[in-house]
Chains A and B, each alone.
Chain A
Amino acid sequence: MNVRFRCNGRAVEVDVPPMSRLLDVLREELRLTGSKEGCGEGECGACTVRIDGEAVMSCLVPVCQVDGASIVTIEGLGASVVHPVQTAMLQHGGAQCGICTPGLCMSAAALLERNPHPSREEARVALAGNLCRCTGYQKVVDAVCASLAPEGS
């Protein structure tokens, strides 16, 4: 099946089986390997990308459902200007091994767009679908709460 969508601002077209996981299409076809596979069943959030602005688990999205959609991956988040949440993650030490970091940044960016000044509790709720086994989350929440969403992000 030919599927056309926008990925990080660029028009792309792939010819893949319709039920292919979006995660596999991003990584294997488009060579965008920033989105990670942790669990493959929607539990860990390492594969989080944004489809038409909404954070989703790309391991649970069949590629046929993104035909005509606009997707942003971690590669597109800070493509022109480093996203404030990425800067804040660096400043606050919000990343250790790094496997969960792309997904965390995508969830955080989606949160900040709707709620530019989240409380710690709101940040924790928004990031509850992103598991991290290194940081203990404190510095991640510090970083997200210290981020300011860029206008029009």
Chain B
Amino acid sequence: MSAPVTALFRPRTLNDALKMRAEQPGATVMAGGTDVMVYIESGTLKPTAILDLWGCSGLRWQQSITGGQFHGAGLTCTDVLRSGQSHPLLEAAAATVGAVQIQNRATLGGNICNASPAGDTLPVWLALKAEFEVASVRGRRRIPAASFWQGYKKIDLRPDELFLGILIPPLFGHTHFRKVGTRLAQSISKVVFAGRYNPGVDACLAFGAVGPTPMRCLKAETALVAGAAVDDVVQLVREEIAPIDDIRSTAVYRRQVAGNIVRRWLTSL
């Protein structure tokens, strides 16, 4: 049953973790294990070396810092829900990740770096214009969420880098989160949406599970801010997304539902 793992690294500090990452760029990085263990069990991942960040201090904290609210990569969904300090959009997304047993282990950094197009928190980072902080022994850098997911399961993280956390800037406007799955809990999204709309200023309409990466509908956002009719915004959303038929849903259904979500939200404001 066990994977033939020949090397296991369990750093206790961030500095140790970065050193180990520099020496082991091929190791599989794991935190709560809720994705990695499934991949190992199904045989889609056969790691020989593992870098386990679950017990690494310095990744599981949340604080207001200059420029916004910082969330460490090692925070679990349960941490987010219990803190009461997170943005309502993030709380809503965290509450829909798996069920309680998954939320107790699944981390924000894991959800972001696993980069499933259907990852529940991913549209939230787009809607909140988050920046991701990554680091290596060479130094740190920040990446806008909008440019982090470069293609299907492809992220802007170099082999010697680790994902440290997320910075959410202060933003204004209405917000809305909606996940559509087979059932309320424990299902993977057919469509997931996070929106933010500050009338006359800016808007963000972000979706997951409707393309190879989480994505924004830039034309629809521009139209919305310019005062376009809801019907026209909905039409643009349906044109901009790029859903496919897969085991969870069909492209036709996803287009219909994505538009419905935006229509219902905008007409409720």
Main secondary structure of the interface of B (DSSP, over half): loop
Partner-binding segment picked from B37-45, B119-127, B223-231: B37-45
Any chain B CB within 8 A of the CB of A107?
yes
Closest to A20 in B: B2
Which single member of B33, B98, B99, B101 contacts A62 (CB below 8 Å)?
B33
Partner-binding segment picked from B49-57, B147-155, B197-205, B240-248: B49-57
Q: How far is the CA of A110 from the CA of B42 in the complex (A)?
A: 29
Q: How far is the CB of B9 from chain A (nearest CB, A)?
A: 10
Counting chain B CB atoms within 10 Å of each CB, the highest count among A19, A41, A54, A107 belongs to: A19
| Number of residue pairs spanning A and B whose beta carbons lie under 8 angstroms apart | 90
Chain B residues within an 8 Å CB radius of A57: 34, 101-102, 105
Q: How far is the CB of A107 from chain B (nearest CB, A)?
A: 7
Q: How far is the CA of A62 from the CA of B1 in the complex (A)?
A: 11
Any chain B CB within 8 A of the CB of A150?
no
Taking beta carbons and an 8 Å cutoff, which residues of B are in contact with A?
A: 1-3, 5, 8, 10, 30, 33-34, 37-38, 40-42, 50, 52, 54-55, 78, 98-102, 104-105, 184-186
Q: How far is the CB of B18 from chain A (nearest CB, A)?
A: 20
Chain A residues within an 8 Å CB radius of B52: 62, 64-65
How many chain A residues touch the partner (CB < 8 A)? 32
Taking beta carbons and an 8 Å cutoff, which residues of A are in contact with B?
A: 1, 16-21, 24, 40-43, 45, 48, 54-57, 59-62, 64-65, 107, 110-111, 125-126, 128-130
Chain B residues within an 8 Å CB radius of A42: 34, 37-38, 98, 101-102
Q: How far is the CA of A126 from the CA of B95 in the complex (A)?
A: 11
